[in-house]
Structure 1
């Protein structure tokens, strides 16, 4: 089994576990990002209070709306990303060794090369998996969009009240059909432009992570100690994701706005024709603060998810390699006898 495949499988496994743990926060964060209420006086509520409101008015299952396609997307994204990351990383390492042989550099992959490797891996990942995340965003925000239709209608008819309390089932198939009806096949690549720019997020994240991990391992080697622990990997992953999230969050909000169901009638301030149109309308009607809606929730969710992902991935990679070594030893031993 190749090193790229091992890292791809481990990344997929770590991503699924991280997703299961943090998904309710992700659902709440997506709703916060796509909230288009322009009233300044609206009271802001925290993620815990908002989760309680979702459970109270919509049930526990709504915190996990879109979980199935999200798990598929996470496994696909992490698997694709780590697979191509390892391939590009190997090429960068070989290039660094060749440069050293020519008297240039120390033979290690530098920060800029790490950034390029992560960016290339991220671009491949985005282009292949964007349709899945469009569907996930629709499923996470569906109930919110349905309730907003009746938000200013008082008094509500009895049928509307019942529809608000018990919204009709909305599954993956409904979301796919809705996206296709709106914009055809190209609708599944809505928000791909800001998402491609957001490749800088994992690029920054992995650059920070690899740099901190390399320094920590060097320090441990000098002191004659063992490799880094799972807890230290957890903390390094959290710090790396924190730095990347703060820098790129506005692009994430724009992406979510574009992928959510668009308002085609009524207030045109809520309808975005594209990335530039969304940015200009958000600046005009919501100000710069609109680009940071739900940021505190995202920091908690993404930092926790990244920390769990890195920790689980490293443990899975280590376990798979140990199993392969044991299998190889057993094969050699059996042949010897």
Structure 2
């Protein structure tokens, strides 16, 4: 079994487990990012309050709206990302060794090359899996009608068109989302938000840079006879992944808000503030009408969810790689540290 395939399968497995454990926070965060009405709870309440309100008004199952396509997307994204990352990484390492033989460098991959590898892997992943994440965003932001409301209240709410997505009690399935997207914008509708998503490949690049920097510092302080992959325990990998993801998320969060606004179903009222023609138009209107605060709406929830999920992914993925290598070769010394993509 090739390095790329082992890492791809391990990344997919780790991503699925992390997704299952943190999905309710993802749902809440998607609603926070796309809510534009200051009177709505999603605009001002914290994650804990939002979780409570969703369960109370819509049922606990709404916290897992879009879970199945999300799991598919996670497995596909992590698998694609790690597969291509290993391929690009192997080529970069081969070139570094070749330069070393010519007396150039020490044979290791430099920071610029590492960032390029992560960026290329991220771009391939975004282009191949974006349709899945558009569907997930729409299913997460779909609001089930509160059964405690009267029919008159629901009619008024629909007439005012305050919600970004349809508010109803009927099931909202993946096929419904795809049909809706195709009616709205044809085939290109499946790649809504792809531009900020492509820019967001800087997130794993930044995360990788922070991760590798911290990793090298720790390695310098470690004795060469420590047990485990490169002398690091699962808990240490977890903490390194958390710190690296925290830094990357803070720097790139506004792009996540813009992407969510583009992917969610556009409002049907006549307010031009609720219609985005593209990435630049979304950024302009966000800053103009909601200020810088709007660019960081729901960041607290995202940090908790993303950092925890990423740290879990790092830890689980490394353990899966070690297990796979032990089964295939009986040697765990070839385990390589790879960065996670964003949740």
Q: TM-score, normalised by structure 1?
A: 0.89
Return the offset for 1:42.
Answer: 9.3
CA pair 262-105 structure 1, distance change in 2 beyond 3 A:
same
CA pair 95-60 structure 1, distance change in 2 beyond 3 A:
same
Tell me, in whole angstroms, the C-alpha distance in 1 between the residues paired with 2:41 and 2:50: 17
Which of 266, 271, 281 matches 1:267?
Answer: 271
Match of 1:225 in 2: 226
Tell me, in whole angstroms, the C-alpha distance in 1 between the residues paired with 2:142 and 2:306: 22
Tell me, in whole angstroms, the C-alpha distance in 2 between the residues paired with 1:64 and 1:41: 19
Deviates more, 1:172-181 or 1:310-319: 172-181
Matched, 1:283 2:284: no
Tell me, in whole angstroms, the C-alpha distance in 1 between the residues paired with 2:317 and 2:308: 14
Which of 170, 185, 188 matches 1:186?
Answer: 188
Matched, 1:197 2:192: no
Tell me, in whole angstroms, the C-alpha distance in 2 between the residues paired with 1:290 and 1:159: 28
Match of 1:325 in 2: 329
Match of 1:46 in 2: 46
Tell me, in whole angstroms, the C-alpha distance in 1 between the residues paired with 2:200 and 2:116: 13
Return the offset for 1:106.
Answer: 1.3
Tell me, in whole angstroms, the C-alpha distance in 2 between the residues paired with 1:41 and 1:142: 15
Matched, 1:292 2:296: yes
CA pair 211-29 structure 1, distance change in 2 beyond 3 A:
same
Tell me, in whole angstroms, the C-alpha distance in 2 between the residues paired with 1:42 and 1:315: 37
Alignment gaps of 5+ in structure 2: 159-165, 332-343
CA pair 255-287 structure 1, distance change in 2 beyond 3 A:
same
Alignment gaps of 5+ in structure 1: 148-153, 328-337
Q: CA RMSD in A?
A: 2.4
Tell me, in whole angstroms, the C-alpha distance in 2 between the residues paired with 1:9 and 1:216: 27
Matched, 1:137 2:141: no
Tell me, in whole angstroms, the C-alpha distance in 2 between the residues paired with 1:101 and 1:158: 75
Aligned length: 319
Return the offset for 1:112.
Answer: 1.3
Match of 1:241 in 2: 245
On the 8 A contact 2:41/2:50 being kept in 1, the answer is no
